[in-house]
Chains A and B, each alone.
Chain A
Amino acid sequence: MTSLSYRKAFMLILKRDLTIAFRHRDDIINPLLFFVIVVTLFPLGIGPEPNTLMKIAPGVIWVAALLSTLLSIERLFKSDYADGSLEQMLLTPCPAFILAMAKVTAHWLLTGLPLILMSPVLGLLLNLHQDAYRALMLTLLLGTPILSLFGAIGAALTVGIKKGGVLLSLLVLPLYIPVLIFATSAIDTAAFGLPYNGQLAIIAAMLAGAITLAPFAISAALKVSTN
């Protein structure tokens, strides 16, 4: 009997999710557009004074990244749950955490990675300090996978609930706060010209913890939701 190796199963699910996403390109573009719009609204609301913008830039970009991740994470398991394929995937001998890891990876590739690539442009819009760009991209690189992982836990818990979107935000928000705090702290420290390795190390530690533990929480939550 042929059985899938973990790697093959992972790649299979990853490719499936990416293919489906590319067929619904709107679902990829919308969160990114939202990201840009939110960032653009802040100078309009607060005023274009460059120094003010420079002060709020790290926080605004990170909060916008957080919000657009929340926007896209709801769809992570919804359509599979709706047509029953999620239940089928959980019934296969393939361990559920492989499924979880593959879906989160697909989500990050489609949402987190474009966010990271677009962030310098948005830094320009908000007059981000010269020395902070590298820190911005590094924190986003380390932080967006955490956002995807924690968001997936929330999505897995709420996938069976109608109108679970708002509940998802409420559940995931306390988990996102440490990432936000350390990331913006790192960018601010970089803007002062000081070393920010400490904050990066803590974010990396959170990432390591999340990659290790979140898939199990996600699979437990999926099993509860599909009953």
Chain B
Amino acid sequence: MKTLSSGVIRGLLGGAAVAMLMLGGAGSASAQTSASANGTATIVPAIAISKTTDLQFGLIVVGPGGTVTVTPSSSRSASGPVILTNATWPVSAASFAVTGGATLVYTISLPTSTSLTGPSSATMTVDTFTSNPSGTGTLSAGGTSTLNVGATITVGATQAAGAYTGSFSVTVNYQ
């Protein structure tokens, strides 16, 4: 469950704008006819994303069908099925480490839907992906950002019991 290009950054911000009222002075009398300006450019790495945690919905008791949702903060709720807390089947949002140029803004693209496949090719649809940050994120002064992703699975009333797995991709780009 991962995506994207990569790079590492150590960007830095250009200096504050020179106040209009305080013009750069010059050194000698004739220097008033010349003025110098600085030029700057910052080479930053391409943005990169790597997965740290998978999206895990944990243990679900089928009975009534319905949906189970895991939020980007890893809290789980269900409408229909019964959800059990179980150490063997932990619950967590997916978590990604995004790296790139310090303070740069990136856009986040989440999938529309994906499928989990279980015993005898039974499937469940995963959709309504959500993330935190949402839409866009901002890299820190150190050029990092944590992106958490949740989603909702639809469980059939007679969903076959067993382990279901799948994968999805998240894309990030510099805005």
Chain B binds chain A: no
Residues in A lying within 8 Å of B, measured CB to CB: none
Residues in B lying within 8 Å of A, measured CB to CB: none
